[in-house]
Structure 1
Amino acid sequence: MSRWDGIDEFVATAEAESFSQAARRLGLSTSGVSREVARLEERLQTRLLYRTTRRVSLTDAGRAFLARCRELIHDRDEALAAVGEEDGEVKGLLRMTCSSAYGERYVAPAVNAFMLAHPKLSVHLELDDAVRDIVNEGFDLAIRFGRLTDSRLIAKRLASRTRRLCAAPAYLDRAGAPTTIAALESHACVLGATDAWPLREGEREIAFKPQGRFRCNSGQAVLDAALQGLGICQLPNFYVDPAIADGRLVPLLEDNTPADEGVWAVYPHLRLLPAKVRLLVEHLERGLG
């Protein structure tokens, strides 16, 4: 029995607050993860987790042990990455996260092409519109948009995205096209996850608060509502550009388009950045840029 046995399973379970979620993350069975954590507790003669039928939570001892285990795992993974870099191979497991729509359309195809060039690399890509805590959840890499504020992370700009206002021709035939930002107040708007739309007025950026009958935190659902004529939407260009190109949507107030937002690769501060992360970031920069 290795002294490492159970540590990865414990960290994954503590972060996910669930044996089943930890099992999915590690590619193991739920019973196997639970068994390894129980064996670890038995070796330590200490309860690390409280277990209920709905969730798992840390004991005080478990919380202190989790912090040390994360340090151990980071040091171990850096050592393994250094060996991998010495023999010129990209290998091992890389965990990353990205928003759903952008990930499906752009990041996943780029990652798949990277994996074809590096057959010893495994990638777990989690598509989630929530902003994940990649340090505490054990991710190697995340793709994010806009302004970044987490000082624990290093960020590298990969590309940019533009938010565009647009509406279907059927809606504009009924309601007319707005010619100023102020005119948007009299229009039906299709709302996404945010309460305000960034727009540019002269040299300054303003936040316009739209009103409408439909709201959804899915960009694809907002796009569908706009295509059906429910109102004006503001979405990143990768959602709307194809529909604008074939005439299903009409761009609006293009002089008031906000400044481009950055698309960033972000990863934790490490003394040695693993080759798998460094090379994938370089590949994404070439592909997405």
Structure 2
Amino acid sequence: MIRVEGITAFVAVVESGSVSEAARRLRLSKSVVSERLAELERSLGGVLLHRTTRKLALTQDGAAFLLRATRIVQEIEEATAEMAVRRGTLSGPLRIAAPVTFGRMHLGPALYPFLAEHPEIQLVLDIDDRRVDVSSEGYDAVVRHGPIVDSRLVVWKLSRSRRILVASPAYLDRHGTPKTLADLDGHKGIFYTNRGVADWRFQTPDGAIVVRASQAVGMNNGDMIRDAAIAGLGIALLPAFIAGPAIGEGKLVAIDVGYRPEAEFIYMAHPEGRNPSAKLRAVAQHLRTTFGDPPYWDPAD
């Protein structure tokens, strides 16, 4: 007989890439996870994983079985969550990925009271600025700032995200304050490299206008972009949730060039074809309510 514990162990090993990491996620010993894998292979009559000292690789049988095994694990988790909802509680594992700066400044503080209210939820929050593959890396959802182009994801809007063109007072004293979009051409820009382009987009009555300033530095983290702007290295286009405190403290100055940057949003996205669990829907609604509309971090005009 095939045991559910073996299927769960197999999926966890594939998603995490190692027996030791799967054991950590499942809160089991490595020996227990290995035994469950071996028992599953004996029950199926085939080898699912090639094991070496350095890595694990799916066999053809393993790759074929993984699709159904993943669905089985998901269905069990969702059924368990639904039963918890019927009892008036939310429970079970939940794995979410989010960008570093937003996660540290706003997502974490928003989630802590929710988790205190629902102590049976076992949240794993992975903070990383890279673009994770939600489905293949085993996440229930990802929180992102900016556009999501992956057609395999179902996207929920959590909040608006206003962006502000900023520079330090010292930089503006040295180079002058731009008043128009054309003035930006003569300035140095600090750009977010994860977007893959070094430009700024603004809303005008005639549509979007793209401005490409000379790149002073490129970085893949919002905190560091803010700090580089404070250090006077150039002009940066930052979300209000990052730039707001520095503007309030006088470390950065908001620059008005006559037009606002294109609007962006904070999103939560989950894999297409997977029914979102009750606890994930509850988290999303809690975040919408906590962030507000307009969001609490937006500076007053």
TM-score, normalized by length of structure 1? Answer: 0.89
Change (3 A) 1:254 1:16: farther
- Give the distance between the partners of 2:226 and 2:61, measured in 1 at CA: 48
Change (3 A) 1:63 1:245: same
Question: Following superposition of structure 1 onto structure 2, how do residues 37-52 of structure 1 map, counting pairs within 5 Å?
Answer: 37-52=37-52
Shift of 1:75: 1.8
Query: How large is the RMSD of aligned CA atoms in angstroms?
Result: 2.3
TM-score, normalized by length of structure 2? Answer: 0.86
2:284 aligned with 1:288: no
Change (3 A) 1:33 1:177: farther
Match of 1:74 in 2: 74
Question: Following superposition of structure 1 onto structure 2, how do residues 58-207 of structure 1 map, counting pairs within 5 Å?
Answer: 58-193=58-193, 194=195, 195-200=197-202, 202-203=204-205, 204-207=207-210
Letter in 2 for 1:153: L
Aligned partner of residue 69 in structure 2, secondary structure: helix
- Give the distance between the partners of 2:273 and 2:281, measured in 1 at CA: 12
Given that residues 179 and 258 in structure 2 are in contact (C-alpha distance below 8 angstroms), is that contact kept between their aligned partners in structure 1? Answer: no
Letter in 2 for 1:198: W
Change (3 A) 1:86 1:271: farther
Change (3 A) 1:34 1:215: farther
- Give the distance between the partners of 2:53 and 2:254, measured in 1 at CA: 51
- Give the distance between the partners of 1:25 and 1:258, measured in 2 at CA: 41
The answer to which of 62-71 and 259-268 deviates more is 259-268
- Aligned counterpart in structure 1 of residue 260 of structure 2, from 231, 237, 257: 257
Shift of 1:258: 1.7
The answer to which of 26-35 and 199-208 deviates more is 26-35
Shift of 1:105: 1.3
Shift of 1:63: 0.7
- Give the distance between the partners of 1:52 and 1:11, measured in 2 at CA: 18
Change (3 A) 1:45 1:108: same
Match of 1:211 in 2: 214
The answer to which of 99-108 and 35-44 deviates more is 35-44
Given that residues 199 and 256 in structure 1 are in contact (C-alpha distance below 8 angstroms), is that contact kept between their aligned partners in structure 2? Answer: no
Letter in 2 for 1:197: D
Letter in 2 for 1:80: T
**1:247-278 Cα distance to aligned partner (Å, 9 max, x none):** 11111135332232121222245686432122
Given that residues 200 and 258 in structure 1 are in contact (C-alpha distance below 8 angstroms), is that contact kept between their aligned partners in structure 2? Answer: yes
Match of 2:223 in 1: 220
Which ranges of structure 1 fall in alignment gaps of 5 or more residues? none
Given that residues 196 and 207 in structure 1 are in contact (C-alpha distance below 8 angstroms), is that contact kept between their aligned partners in structure 2? Answer: no
Shift of 1:59: 1.4
Shift of 1:161: 0.9
Letter in 2 for 1:253: D
- Give the distance between the partners of 1:171 and 1:68, measured in 2 at CA: 58
Identity rate, percent: 38
Aligned partner of residue 85 in structure 2, secondary structure: helix
Aligned partner of residue 25 in structure 1, secondary structure: helix
Change (3 A) 1:29 1:108: farther
- Give the distance between the partners of 1:235 and 1:28, measured in 2 at CA: 43
Shift of 1:35: 4.0
Letter in 2 for 1:214: V
Aligned partner of residue 139 in structure 1, secondary structure: coil
Letter in 1 for 2:267: W
Change (3 A) 1:188 1:54: farther
2:251 aligned with 1:241: no
